């Protein structure tokens, strides 16, 4: 017998009998599944949606939020916790703006100048010391700047040409000197490049040239033109030799001529220099050559042009300084030349 206390003073007693036979299996039960729970704002009604499917009941609950209750009283401060591990150092903050400059403080008062003391008596003049040795000669000073060019004087009158003297008698031919020993043969030089085919002098009907090969310094006035000195003549055919223009070429035939010009010039100051070829004192446009010159540095002016010339045309060269009055320097060797050659008949 077993008894279970049910309260004062009751007891439930029973006698455990033998286990009876197993009964028949019951019908399958229905399974209840909570499918979802959705929380809505406070004030809405609670709802339950049930769907039955294959012995299953699917429940979907809609539960409203509870109203916010009144704030409770602050609880007692709990004990201080242990210090946590220091966090990593944060990034450096931006540099603050520079503050405004403070006002200048007041200027201090100037001190009072002390009185000047009395002048002491003059001392006795000392005995002159021995003269020192002469010092070494100092270095040579820099060369002074070159002075400006003086004004060009007026051109003097041309003198009369004196009478031409008679040619002297031809002297006798002197005896032929003994033949010298043959010198050693020199090394063969490198073969030069093949030149352009020229025009045979034998086929030219007219050609000639003028050149300058003496050193000279000739003034040039800013904006003024100076004729290029060409006192020496080259071999020529049908070019007047006795023309009045000493520095010019005068052809004796009409025709198409090739004109070549060359000048190697320097100036005593930096300037812009222009060289031209003229036909009867008129510039030939295709010949105008202008260059910037540095002081005492030679520059070459050269070119080749084609022109239709008439008999007795005067062909010469001129130069002019653009910036200021200068001295034009003609160096050593051939510094200027002008040549013409007839290459065709005029149309």
- Tell me what pLDDT residue 179 has: 55
Q: Alpha-carbon distance 70 to 162, whole Å?
A: 143
Tokens 């910037």 label which residue? Answer: 292
Residue 327, domain member (yes or no) = yes
- Tell me what pLDDT residue 301 has: 96
Q: Which of 45, 64, 83 lies at the terminal end of a domain, its last residue?
A: 64
Mean pLDDT value across residues 40-56: 82
Residue 125, domain member (yes or no) = no
Mean pLDDT value across residues 78-89: 78
10-14, 41-45, 132-136, 300-304: which is most confident:
300-304
Q: Is the pLDDT of residue 305 over 80?
A: yes
Q: What is the mean pLDDT of the chain?
A: 78
Mean pLDDT value across residues 71-88: 79
- Tell me what pLDDT residue 2 has: 62
Residue 221, domain member (yes or no) = yes
Taking the CA atoms of 50, 51, 56 and 62 in sequence, report the sign of the dihedral they define.
negative
Task: Categorize the per-residue pLDDT at 153 as very low, low, confident or very high, splitting at 50, 70 and 90.
Answer: very low
Q: Is the pLDDT of residue 132 over 80?
A: no
CATH of the domain at 315: 2.60.120.40
Residue 19, domain member (yes or no) = no
Residue 54, domain member (yes or no) = yes
- Tell me what pLDDT residue 98 has: 79
Residue 332, domain member (yes or no) = yes
Do residues 258 and 302 touch, judged by C-beta distance below 8 A? no
139-143, 178-182, 258-262: which is most confident:
258-262
Number of domains in the chain: 2
Domain with 229 in it: 203-344
31-40 sheet: strands from edge to edge: 31-40, 56-64, 47-53
Q: Is the pLDDT of residue 129 over 70?
A: no
Q: What is the CA radius of gyration of the chain?
A: 62
Q: Is the pLDDT of residue 20 over 70?
A: yes
Tokens representing 97 are: 């703006």
Residue 169, domain member (yes or no) = no
Q: Which of 64, 85, 112 lies at the terminal end of a domain, its last residue?
A: 64
Task: Categorize the per-residue pLDDT at 200 as very low, low, confident or very high, splitting at 50, 70 and 90.
Answer: very low
Q: Is the pLDDT of residue 340 over 90?
A: yes
- Tell me what pLDDT residue 275 has: 96
Q: Is the pLDDT of residue 152 over 50?
A: no
Q: Alpha-carbon distance 226 to 31, whole Å?
A: 128
Residue 260, domain member (yes or no) = yes
Q: Alpha-carbon distance 208 to 197, whole Å?
A: 19
Strands, E assignment, the chain? 2-7, 10-14, 31-40, 47-53, 56-64, 207-212, 216-220, 226-227, 232-233, 255-267, 271-279, 282-283, 289-293, 299-309, 315-321, 326-330, 336-344
Mean pLDDT value across residues 244-272: 93
Q: Alpha-carbon distance 336 to 275, whole Å?
A: 11
Q: Is the pLDDT of residue 159 over 60?
A: no
Tokens 């003391």 label which residue? Answer: 117
Taking alpha carbons only, the member of 332, 319, 316, 98 closest to residue 226 is 319
């Amino acid at each position: 017998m077993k008894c279970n206390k049910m309260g004062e003073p009751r007891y439930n007693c029973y006698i455990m009998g033998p286990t009876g036979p197993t009964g028949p299996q019951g019908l399958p039960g229905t399974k209840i599944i909570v499918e979802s729970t959705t929380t809505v704002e406070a004030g809405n009604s609670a709802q339950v949606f049930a769907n039955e499917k294959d012995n299953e009941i699917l429940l979907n609950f809609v539960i409203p939020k509870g109203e916010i209750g009144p704030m409770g009283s602050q609880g007692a401060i709990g004990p201080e916790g242990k210090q946590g591990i220091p966090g990593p150092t944060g990034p450096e903050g931006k540099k603050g703006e520079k503050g405004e400059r403070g006002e200048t403080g007041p200027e201090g008062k100037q001190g009072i100048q002390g009185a000047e003391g009395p002048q002491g008596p003059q001392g006795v003049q000392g005995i002159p010391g021995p003269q020192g040795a002469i010092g070494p000669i100092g270095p040579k000073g820099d060369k002074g700047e070159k002075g400006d060019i003086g004004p060009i004087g007026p051109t003097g009158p041309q003198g009369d040409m004196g009478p031409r003297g008679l040619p002297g008698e031809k002297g006798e031919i002197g005896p032929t000197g003994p033949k010298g020993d043959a010198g050693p043969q020199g090394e063969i030089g490198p073969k030069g490049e093949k030149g352009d085919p020229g025009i045979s002098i034998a086929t030219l009907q007219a050609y000639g040239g003028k050149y300058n090969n003496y050193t000279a310094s000739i003034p040039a006035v800013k904006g003024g033109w100076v004729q290029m000195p060409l006192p020496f003549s080259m071999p020529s055919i049908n070019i007047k030799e006795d023309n009045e223009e000493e520095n010019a070429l005068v052809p004796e035939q009409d025709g198409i001529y090739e004109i070549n010009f060359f000048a190697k010039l320097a100036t005593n100051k930096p300037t812009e220099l222009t060289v031209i070829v003229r036909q009867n004192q008129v510039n030939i446009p295709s010949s105008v050559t202008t260059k910037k010159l540095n002081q005492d540095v030679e520059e070459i002016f050269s070119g080749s042009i084609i022109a239709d010339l008439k008999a007795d045309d005067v062909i010469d060269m001129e130069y002019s300084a653009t910036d200021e009055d200068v001295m034009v320097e003609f160096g050593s060797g051939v510094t200027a030349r002008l040549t013409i050659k007839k290459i065709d008949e005029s149309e």
